[in-house]
Amino acid sequence: MTNPMYDTLFGRLKDQDRVFLYLPDDHVITAREFHDMIGRSANALHAAGLVPGDRVAVQATKSPEMLALYAATITAGMVFLPLNTAYTPEELSYFIKDCTPGMLLVDPDRAAKVQDLANQLGTRLETLGTGGSFDALAAVQPESVTPVTRQPDDLAALLYTSGTTGRSKGAMLSHDNLLSNAQALAEAWHFTSADILLHALPVFHAHGLFVANNTVLLTGGSMIFQPKFDLDQIIAALPNATAMMGVPTFYTRLLQDPRLTRELVTHMRLFISGSAPLLAETHQTWTARTGHAILERYGMTETTMITSNPYHGERRPGTVGKPLRDVHIRIVDQKTGAQLAQGETGMIEVRGPNVFKGYWQMPEKTAEEFRKDGYFITGDLGKIDPDGYLHIVGREKDLIISGGYNIYPKEIELALDDMPGVLESAVIGVPHPDFGEAVLAILVPADFAPDIQAIEASLAQHMARYKQPKAFIKMRELPRNTMGKVQKAALRQQFATYFFE
């Protein structure tokens, strides 16, 4: 094997005339045509003077060209670095300084905003998309390509963590990390060449870039490749798809549309949700409406996918299932590192071929995050129920310590989400003069306003006093990142000076 990911995922497209990508406006790209795009882009990278091991940073709109560039970068022996399209030039400067890419590619209309930055940092700037300079360079390159030899342990991609607290870190992912995970997911979710995946996720994130694309590439399927989530386009595409991967927001928006019926999704085989917790209510409502149980899974930038609810068997609401093939998880005491008994809440640690190589140019931070036996400390808190399903309780940094008691926000949020008038909730800890931290509940009202007194009375009956919120705040919506995760750091900052009467 000369280049593991090319040989396993991309090279097989070369001699196939089947449709690989279904695009808006009835355009299609065959597997052979997509391989030609990979070849021209890989040769363009070489023509630009880049060499194996160079980082290729991309902040561009989702497109077939960007997907081909991902494959081309790896084919050329380089390291792909996708960046969130929401980043400002100021935010972008951190990543460019940190990873020193051989090339930065942006949308044509973004180039003027980052040209000074590229000049200051000595980074070659190209544009990707209609009329883009990189497209012009690729257009004159040959389609045939010789993949650069890479080893399974060589880097394929560099993805930066969200950086909600502290410095954002670059997670180094190898060929083997990504391939092993694609193979485990294809097996767990029964993907085949007959599948047509409805792909409306962004491709600057592991979910849309690796989980979706790599699984389809591995199994020889096709994708309905949509630029973004558009409700009308999703509704129109569903009858032609067999599977969809989405974030919880996709499903809540679809449930609000009367066009979502059992008849609409008759041809669907599988609905998958991830990147943010799926409310049990959403899971149950979706099943009642469509006849399909959403399959929820769990992963993170550093590990790609870790666990999944079963394809055959109970897809249990509020859980993220069991470990994937060759992946091992354990729950340990946060202070001692000792493994806890089943059912106890503690830190989730994971070991397997999916676990990243470490953080880019941060050896000390990398060493801190790994146990001596190779387990990665996820920073997520959870427990394993008697049937082996993993329950995510929250992030370690979200843990509330009030009056010396440990309080897990997820437990309170689950109770609040079941209350009449509550669409969803977020529970945070804020400074308190007596308790150190106090529990503050933020509620998003449903169709009618929640009765706070009734909620307080219900919680008083079912929950220890120290867990009960000291105050309730109503908000129209919770702050979220582009993947739908509630940004609790932003909430803690917003209410850091909240005054308790």
Per-residue pLDDT tens over the stretch 297-309: 999 999 999 999 9
Confidence label for 249 from pLDDT (cuts 50, 70 and 90): confident
Residue 368 makes CB contacts below 8 A (sequence gap 6+) with: none
Structure-token pair, residue 314: 């109970």
* Three-class SS state of 472: strand
Beta strands 400-402 and 405-407 are antiparallel
Q: Which of 128, 191, 166 is nearest to 359 (CA)?
A: 166
Q: At residue 102, what is the residue type?
A: G
Residues 270-288 have a mean pLDDT of 91
Q: How far apart are CA 275 and CA 286, in angstroms?
A: 18
Q: How far apart are CA 427 and CA 443, in angstroms?
A: 9
Residue 298 phi, psi dihedral angles, 5° rounding:
-140, 135
The pLDDT of residue 89 is 87
Residues 286-302 have a mean pLDDT of 96
**pLDDT (tens digit, 9 = 90+) per residue, 148-180?**
999 999 999 999 986 444 578 999 999 999 999
Is there a shared CATH topology between the 4-8+30-150 domain and the 399-494 domain? no
The pLDDT of residue 165 is 44
Exposure letters 342-376 (e unless 16+ CB within 10 A, then b): eeebbbbbbbbbbbbbbbbebeeebeebeeeeebb
- Domain 399-494 class? alpha beta
- The CATH number of 4-8+30-150, from 3.40.50.720, 3.30.465.10, 3.30.930.10, 3.40.50.980, is 3.40.50.980
The residue extents of the domains of the chain are: 4-8+30-150, 399-494
Share of the chain above pLDDT 70, in %: 98
